[in-house]
Structure 1
Amino acid sequence: MNSRRKFLTQTSIAAAALATTPLAGLASPPAPIVLPTIFSPDESLAAVQRFGLGGVAAGNGWHENTNEQISQTLDAAWKAGVRYFDTSPFYGFGLSERRFGHFLFGKKREEFVLSTKIGRVFEPDRQYKKDPKSLWFGNLNFKYQFDYTASGTRRSIEDSLKRLGLSSIDVVFVHDLSPDTPDLGPKWKEQFAIAAKGAFPELTRMREEGIIKSWGMGVNTPEPILECMKIANPDLMLVATQYSLVEHQPALDSLFPEMQKKNVKAVIGAPLNGGFLAGRDRFNYGPTIPPAMLEKRKKIVTVCEKHNVDLKAAALQFCLAHPV
């Protein structure tokens, strides 16, 4: 337990998982590293991760990106000091993992931390057609089904290891086991009951086997996180779309206090609300922006301009400030 908690202290304090986007101006001089990675003097531990890069766009999220664009983005991130990378089999139905694995193949394993997810298993689909409502673009050629059983969890991790080209994974999140997942809805509790007897104990076993170092929930709502901490022994949580400069009070009031009691760390997903705090015309995962959020952003922009502070930098520093 102590060594596992030590790993988490070294890797997950105030980490913010950012959405991958093709970077403009790659030929321009590199910007100063404002959130540098700090390496531990103990070589057996991963580096302290202050911020990270998420893999949605590497899976052709929102629009199709070329291999070259993603490679350039990952290379620019690495040169800027990023050493934490978050992906998922769901991101492009395996495409994001393959692209991350290709980039990281030439890096020393002890120099980066990687997280991926379980909850869906994939099979080839010769009749693949894009769902008009899907976030993912391109010829993905796979289909999936939800699987939070023990065997499905192990299979998902083994498949991820093959796509990534790795022999172990630092962090595994139980993905989308939440009431806001459209394909689950009210049935998420049935799947949670399956995970309680299947995925959760299996992840603990795989942690003991050394295949993974830590695990937790990766969801957009607080209830699954709170329920998981009641019945299992997770290490950290991917708290997505729940804590940002414009939307944070529920996390402060209920979620974070419980996580602190359990000594469970947080990775903050979507600290810019899916690009909203970077000026994009979307909020989290959709094009509909709540009027209250537009008003908040307008007021925050005014304050930032008054003090000559970049809004994106303020949003990231806000997420980093909380001790959880």
Structure 2
Amino acid sequence: MPAPGVGGDVPINGEAGPDEASMVMVLGTATIGNLGAPMLDEDAHQVVHGALDLGVTSFDTAPLYGLGLAERRLGVALRGVPRDSYRLSTKVGRVLVEEPHATGDQWAGFHTASHLRPRWDFSTNGVRRSIEQSFERLETAQVELALLHDPDLSGDADAVPRGLEALDMLRADGLVQRIGVASKDIRALERALDFGGADVLMIPGRLTLINREASAIARRAEASGVAIWNAAPFNGGALAGAPLRASGYGALSDAEAAAFARVRSLAAEFDVPVAPAALQYAARLPAVERLTVGAASASQIADNLAGLRMPLPAVFWERLDAMLESDA
């Protein structure tokens, strides 16, 4: 593979552009939905405004993130911003319903005292209801991308085909421009490609420096003309300096931890920071159209963009590719 030169002489995947780093970056919004820690509304809004100021104009969200909180905060933050100047992606499959007796100030890692709870529904009516709820929270009448969210976790064996059919109706109605599936599960991604009709596969944490389980899916998607949105390139933070066993996507497996040790050793040999290498590796893979990364502040977004633009030695990429090929 050629070495990337994001923001330099060799743009991501060879595509020219005014600023490849900000164009490829999508801000993931789980953090502004209070994932892992509470955040004030004004701080969440500043994250969104900071992204726009830095040239990042694509935002990925979901009803699950803070039980609607991330979508609401994103909608408020984007008030007054021309709608044609930014892009939104959200997800369907979980409809938020009132549960008056729900208690506690946390739910599935999100710090929220909401009385809403998610209910699985990949039916035509459920998918439409989900997107309409999202439109209300996002204060919009259309999104550029809608994705089935974690269909593999629903227990519904037909979630992928039924959900894609429902999304296709929304696309035909002009409510969404593109459709697809967001999942860490290889079988769900395979089923999406088998069924057809998807424009995008969002794959979190499975096309990274330490986990390449979805490599075959990415090659198949490329051959089928389906774009990849590569999400969670830091594997829950491990590749960005978080404690090795404190991944937001669960503890690293033994294989991931061993791969991390090899990558860290090689990076140290060439005095290469691991985080920029992780970002650039995730962005340069075939079929990758966008890189979805969360942030808790504008400074984190700036650091990620700087990492994408950082020149790294060609010999490092040559050694890394050889190491990864030997691991395959």
Change (3 A) 1:262 1:130: farther
Counterpart selection for 1:323 from 286, 297, 302: 286
Q: Is the 8 A contact 2:33 2:110 kept in 1?
A: yes
Q: 1:137 aligns with which of 98, 111, 119?
A: 111
Deviations 1:2-36 (A, max 9, x none): xxxxxxxxxxx98xxxxxxxxxxxxxxxxxx9754
Contact 2:203–2:229 (CA<8 Å) still a contact in 1? yes
Partner Cα distance (1:234, 1:311) in 2: 33
| Secondary structure at the counterpart of residue 182 of structure 2 | strand
**What's 2:224 paired with?**
262
- Residue in 1 aligned with 2:247? 283
* Pair 1:239 & 2:203 matched: yes
**Cα-Cα RMSD:** 2.1
1:78-134: CA deviation from partner (whole Å, max 9, x where unpaired): 222211110000111100100111111221112111100000111223222138772
Matched letter for residue 305 of structure 1: A
Misfit runs of 4+, over 4 Å: none
Matches within 5 A, 1:159-178: 159-178=133-152
Q: Normalization by structure 1: what TM-score? A: 0.77
1:119-268 matches, within 5 Å, as 119-130=93-104, 134-178=108-152, 181=153, 184=154, 187=155, 191-197=156-162, 199-248=163-212, 250-252=213-215, 254-268=216-230
Encode CA deviations 1:210-267: one digit per residue, 9 max, x unaligned: 110001000011111111221231101101121111111x322x21222122110000
Please list every run of 5 or more consecutive structure 2 residues that lacks an aligned counterpart in the other structure. 1-11, 288-328
Q: Distance in 1 between matches of 2:106 and 2:165?
A: 36
**Count of paired positions:** 270
The gaps in structure 1 that reach 5 residues or longer are 1-12, 15-32, 38-48
Q: Does 1:97 align with 2:71?
A: yes
8 A Cα contact 2:160 2:192, kept in partner = no
Partner of 1:271: 233
> Structure 2-normalised TM-score?
0.77
The code of the aligned residue for 1:215 comes to I
Distance 1:142 1:34, change over 3 A: same
Contact 2:105 2:113 in 1 (8 A): no
Which structure would you say has the larger RCO, counting Cα contacts within 8 Å and 6 or more residues apart?
A: 2
Counting aligned pairs with the same residue, the percent is 26
